[in-house]
Amino acid sequence: MAALLVVLPLLAVVFLNLPHVRLGNRLALLFAALFCAAEGVAALAAPEGFWNRAASLADIGLTLDLTRLLGTTFLVDALARVMFLSIAVVGLCAALVARYAYVDEEQEFRFANLLLLVTAGMNGVVLVHDLFALYVFLEITAVASLVLIVIERGKSAFEGAFKYMVMGAVATSLLLTALALLFIGAGGTSFEEVAAGLRASGTSKLELVALAMFLVGLAIKAGLVPFHGWLPDAYSAAPAPVSVLLAGIVTKTTGVYTLIRLVDAVFGYGEPIRRALLVVGAVSVVIGAVSALAQRDLKRMLAYSSISQVGYIVLGLAAGPGLGLAGAVFHLFNHSVFKTLLFVNSAAVERQAGTRDMDELGGISSRMPVTGTTSVIALLSTAGIPPFSGFWSKLLIIIALWQAGHPGFAALGVAASVLTLAYFLSMQRRVFFGKLAERCSRLEEADAWGLAPALALAAVTVALGVAAPWLFQTFLLPVRSIL
């Protein structure tokens, strides 16, 4: 049944674009939202047996194994379900923001189709356990994301999309070359075959080169330093609902999740890989935070903040299996929630005030109290302030780094949280606090379509933080349940 998460959105795109089916452009956006909602419910509530059995169309006299049709095995574990939930939450929020941001029904229709394609690609990335199939779904996601960035055809959008395309082409070349080298050494491309080949050969020089190329390709897709140049331009140039989608989940799935999955299931936690992850993660944490301090554009500041927070996830992975892996997965989900909330709020500010320049704003909490309050919740979670959810995932990562013998990196994680708090307090002061800017004197709060995702995400951030001690006992501390 898991294969339906890939097949259904692809079939929906075909069906919704048939000429005689164009009953209304907003039908596509409604279907995309309902599909994301259903995926989220399934991720939370569906029993284990639901995911790993073949899909059947016996009700019309046919039985079809969709995993065989797609040429790969789809397996669902707890990590995959966390990702399905993240994809569903962010996708649903992006659909709601699109309904809020777009006044043109044709724009909604185009966005909904691309949202379905991106969702199918991301679900495929999460489901497959084969390097070549993984590459295929990564490219589906990348191409759909590229079109999303330029969906409104502005000059800055084309510039951001060009950088995304160039860096994506470099990542694709590295991944394909690494895939070929690993296939030569292992004789296959499934995760099990490649992992067995690496163990049998003791990791030869050729395979070390392949691993390095694969890791660099994934670092580009994740926007990690020093491969982050495309990310601020793509995030800031994209329309508001696209920014929500890209920042909230696309780079997390194509870069960060894929890195976690391959290191844990295929590449292993060898010392060279750990050292590389520690350095890249630490540099990303610091450079992202320092760069965020210098920004005037609200979305660019949030983009650099994303780079910094992804660095924390990589540091958790570098701490090794166990507590570090648990912290990395927990922070991945937390980051999807609170960064989506921040981009939802930036969409509301841009739509209502007509600008993202923080120096032209000020005091708008008096006119947009819900947006201002939920922004405070998101920034406190991002900075790791208790009892919000971001505190607990950062705490796990820092403890894991300390236990793994990396106290310097643990201290750096704490210090960078202070930087995070500094640039977010600066943002909050310039945008929401202080004297109301003259241009904002007639500002109004966002409508229900803009407020609903913000309130829901803020509630998740608070509830997850309060429930964290229970999660530790039932899910996170028994780390074997993560994978």
Could you report the per-residue pLDDT of 368-411, keeping only the tens digit for each? 888 888 999 999 998 888 888 888 889 989 999 998 888 999 99
pLDDT at position 483 is 41
- Angle at 250 (CA atoms; ends 36, 79), nearest 5 degrees: 70
Residue 57 in this model has a pLDDT that exceeds 50: no
Could you report the per-residue pLDDT of 409-443, keeping only the tens digit for each? 999 989 998 899 888 888 888 888 877 777 777 77
Could you report the per-residue pLDDT of 335-374, keeping only the tens digit for each? 999 999 999 998 888 888 878 888 888 788 888 888 888 9
pLDDT at position 116 is 92
Domain ranges of the chain: 291-483
Q: For 61-75, 245-259, 283-297, which range has the lowest pLDDT when averaged over its residues?
A: 61-75
pTM comes to 0.90
| Confidence bin at 61 (pLDDT 50/70/90) | very low
pLDDT at position 353 is 81
pLDDT at position 20 is 62
Share of the chain above pLDDT 70, in %: 88
Q: Are 385 and 420 in contact (CB under 8 A)?
A: no
pLDDT at position 203 is 62
pLDDT at position 285 is 92
Higher pLDDT, 99 or 23: 99
Mean pLDDT, the chain, whole residue set: 83
pLDDT at position 103 is 59
Q: Are 318 and 324 in contact (CB under 8 A)?
A: yes
Which residues lie below 8 Å from residue 349, measured CB to CB, with a gap of 6+? Answer: 298, 356, 361, 364, 368, 371, 431
Q: For 55-59, 122-126, 454-458, which range has the lowest pLDDT when averaged over its residues?
A: 55-59
Could you report the per-residue pLDDT of 103-122, keeping only the tens digit for each? 567 778 888 889 999 999 99
| 227/191 Cα distance (integer angstroms) | 26
Exposure on the CB side of residue 397, measured as CA atoms within 13 A? 35
Q: Are 213 and 85 in contact (CB under 8 A)?
A: no
pLDDT at position 444 is 79
| 144/120 Cα distance (integer angstroms) | 10
Q: What is the 3-state secondary structure (H, E, C) of the chain?
A: CCCHHHHHHHHHHHHHCCHHHCCCCHHHHHHHHHHHHHHHHHHHHCCHHHHCCCCCEHHHCECCCHHHHCCCCECCCHHHHHHHHHHHHHHHHHHHHHHHHCCCHHHHHHHHHHHHHHHHHHHHHHHECEHHHHHHHHHHHHHHHHHHHCCCCCHHHHHHHHHHHHHHHHHHHHHHHHHHHHHHHHCCCEHHHHHHHHHHHCCCHHHHHHHHHHHHHHHHHHCCCCCCCHHHHHHHHCCHHHHHHHHHHHHHHHHHHHHHHHHHHHHCCCHHHHHHHHHHHHHHHHHHHHHHHCCCEHHHHHHHHHHHHHHHHHHHHHCCCCHHHHHHHHHHHHHHHHHHHHHHHHHHHHHHHCCCEHHHCCCHHHCCHHHHHHHHHHHHHHHCCCCCHHHHHHHHHHHHHHHCCCHHHHHHHHHHHHHHHHHHHHHHHHHCCCCCCHHHCCCCCCCHHHHHHHHHHHHHHHHHHHCHHHHHHHHHCCHHHCC
pLDDT at position 23 is 53
Could you report the per-residue pLDDT of 192-239, keeping only the tens digit for each? 888 887 777 666 677 788 888 888 999 999 889 888 888 888 888 888
